[in-house]
Structure 1
């Protein structure tokens, strides 16, 4: 039986919420045991797992009104905007700064984990396969989207430097390159979200998924 988008997303959500519940329970047990010191690593783990699980839980909550596809699309758009506009907190409270960092990294991982889910899975009944679409020509340079210098540098790095998305350990998504300058992770994820680049999901994340330009990304650099 072919899995649906709902089944896959609910399974992802259950995985992250289970980790959050386990971390919170361990922290609660530690805090209520007056015979031992507070283990600060448990606080960090509880904060990290809560930040990881939050966007998944929000999507399911939003889906009750709008449907899962629209809710997931809205969450991905909102998180992308936040990553582009939000800077690391400079509060005098170090805990607040750490929480902000965790939230931003959790948003990046959510975008990576849900990339292409809407294309790969569907909840509609199976239909006769549609005819293969005719190959679309690359957009003319004059029609390509405008990009800032920083965005163009990111695309150039993807084109020239062998950029990969890699997660050597769960929750530690990073960008690696074969050669040259390494672009910022949030910029690479944003380029993928815009359809200017694409990651190869046939390779496991722990090995490294190569990132390449789409025709739109190539056209932007050709302007």
Structure 2
């Protein structure tokens, strides 16, 4: 979180300081043109941009702390205290009074623009301090019930004589003397652990198939 906050602060500071530079250049260009008079609009834009950039310049120039986030938090606290104590300018110079007003407007904007970053830092700090809740014990999955076709296959296997076999390169089949057990049904019985196959026998001679206790539990007692 701190790295993200630093990235945002750097981007915002660059934007404000760049805007100040452009406003100053526009004022300097107007002042250099001796054929034209100075306008209050250009002067005001330069004063506003300078006031907006001032807190950001303080933030970027303050290297007293090793952690930039600490500098940011302390600067906000310092500017907040100054803003609370400040009073309106009462100079006889109108421009000086306006300059003072714009300065504190810039401070207010700085505090407003960065308020959400303080909230994000506080939330991250609180989350880091809170103990991680112990995971709830895993609950066993409810037992799956066989479909009517699967139950019928279980009944056929319970009667005995069922074998899994293959002749030459033909398909593997599950043979029963008492009915048909389809391959896809048999795959489900194996996957659910309801039947077992004697793989010690070859497919050519037939691999006996029997019910497991889990499979037998789905049949009437």
- TM-score of the aligned structures, taking structure 1 as reference length: 0.52
1:61 — aligned with what? Answer: 61
Distance 1:78 1:128 in 2: 26
* Deviations, residues 169-217 of structure 1 (Å, cap 9, x unaligned): xxxxxxxxxxxxxxxxxxxxxxxxxxxxxxxxxxxxxxxxxxxxxxxxx
On the 8 A contact 1:3/1:121 being kept in 2, the answer is no
1:41 — aligned with what? Answer: 41
- How far 1:73 moved relative to its partner? 1.2
| Cα separation, partners in 2 of 1:65 and 1:39, compared to 1, 3 Å | same
Hey, which bits of structure 1, 4+ residues long, moved more than 4 A? 127-133
Q: After superposition, where does 1:13-162 map in structure 2 within 5 Å? A: 13-62=13-62, 64-66=63-65, 67-120=67-120, 131=131
Cα RMSD, aligned residues only: 2.8
* Runs of 5+ unmatched residues, structure 1: 134-223
Distance 1:114 1:45 in 2: 22
* Runs of 5+ unmatched residues, structure 2: 134-221
Number of residue equivalences? 129
Q: Which structure would you say has the larger Rg?
A: 2
Distance 2:68 2:114 in 1: 12
2:198 — aligned with what? Answer: none
Distance 1:109 1:61 in 2: 19
- How far 1:120 moved relative to its partner? 2.4
On the 8 A contact 1:69/1:118 being kept in 2, the answer is no
Distance 1:106 1:56 in 2: 10
- TM-score of the aligned structures, taking structure 2 as reference length: 0.53
Tell which has more relative contact order, 1 or 2 (C-alpha 8 A, sep 6+).
1
- How far 1:118 moved relative to its partner? 3.6
**Aligned partner of residue 80 in structure 2, secondary structure:** helix
